[in-house]
Amino acid sequence: MKNKTANSYVSMKGVGHRYDPNPDAPMAIEDIDLDIHRHEFVAVVGPSGCGKSTLLRLVSGLLIPSAGEVSVFNRSVTEPRDDVGIVFQTANLLPWLTVRKNVLFPLKHKYGFYSPQDEKYADELLEMSGLSQFAEKMPGELSGGMQQRVGIVRALLLNPDILLMDEPFSALDALTREQMGFDLLKIWEKNPKTVLFITHSISEAVLLSDRILVMSKRPGTVLDLIDVNLPRPRTAETINEAYFAELTNKIRGYIYEPNVFV
């Protein structure tokens, strides 16, 4: 599946990767072509072990591809970049710092200080995310969903153009996970970013994204790149639409019966 344009924020061309340097070792992913545009929300789904997180690490610069090229803003990715934010599966908050200081920590770590303007922006992000009343709380006083929301706010502090999210809600219970999906949509609508979102949840991918990259089993490659033509803003009613069910069933057909193209 190829979707190449010159104006992509993120571009992958013929990308493959193996973790073993032996050239005869099997590939984790191969022949990935993808373009992601400004403020587009792209989700990646596929069976366990298909290389979804590998794809994200290649875009982040934490890995260098064994084949092909990954580029951001038309420049080849060779190392981690400040204009790419990452949200991992767990919030990884520092338990001895308040919520507010956890949000500000990337600046403290990078520059050794943060300015009054930085503090103001952190407060604005906390307000936008519904966390302002918890700014002086310690992480241990928050629920898992709230901690993950702090992790998202922290990733936004440096105002990255691109936000990479690696199964950020996987550790949450089903009800909290669904609510976090709606919370993320609100944050993204108020502060648009170009998002690559890794998930095991098909319904979550359909609810959140503009397009969905469906990957095959290992070695992961592209089975389909599906447009999600659901109007925004998305709400709880979106989940009840017939088209929502149609898309989720189509994706299930790829993942659970990979030789059946629905």
Structure confidence by residue, pLDDT tens digits, 166-201? 998 888 888 888 888 898 898 898 889 999 999 999
Residue 262: what pLDDT?
42
Query: What average pLDDT does the segment 86-108 reach?
Result: 91
Tokens representing 32? 């990935």
Note the pLDDT tens digit of each residue in 247-256: 999 999 998 7
Give the DSSP letter string of 102-127: HHHHHHHHHHS---HHHHHHHHHHHH
Distance CA 99, CA 54 (A): 30
Separation between Cα atoms, residue 199 and residue 218, nearest integer Å: 16
Written as six digits, the tokens of 126 are 């906390």
Q: Examine the pLDDT at 41 and tell me if it is beyond 60.
A: yes
Q: What percent of the chain has pLDDT over 70?
A: 95
Q: Mean pLDDT of all residues in the chain?
A: 89
Q: Which CA distances in Å does 198 have to 19, 45, 86, 121? A: 20, 7, 11, 27
Instruction: List CB contacts of 8: < 8 A, sequence separation 6 or more.
Output: 35, 36, 37, 71, 74
Q: Which residues contact 186 (CB under 8 A, 6 or more apart)?
A: none
pLDDT of 8 strictly over 90:
no
What mean pLDDT do residues 15-41 have?
92
C-alpha atoms less than 13 angstroms from C-alpha of 39 in its C-beta half-sphere: 7
Task: Please give the domain boundaries of the chain with CATH numbers for all domains.
Answer: 1-83+162-262 (3.40.50.300), 93-159 (no CATH)
CA separation for the pair 15, 18 (Å, rounded): 11
Look at 4 and 175; give whichever has higher pLDDT.
175
Contact (Cβ atoms closer than 8 angstroms) between residue 44 and residue 52? yes
- Predicted confidence band at 21 (pLDDT cuts at 50, 70, 90)? confident
d(CA 109, CA 118): 14
Burial class (CB in 10 A: 0-12, 13-18, 19+), 231: exposed
Higher confidence at residue 109 or residue 245? 245
Contacts (Cβ under 8 Å, ≥6 apart) of 109: none
What does DSSP assign to residue 132? G
Question: Parallel, antiparallel, or unpaired: how do β-strands 162-166 and 194-198 relate?
Answer: parallel
pLDDT in tens, 204-213: 999 999 999 9
- Cβ atoms of 150 and 103 within 8 Å: the answer is yes
Q: Please give the average per-residue pLDDT across 79-102, as a whole number.
A: 89
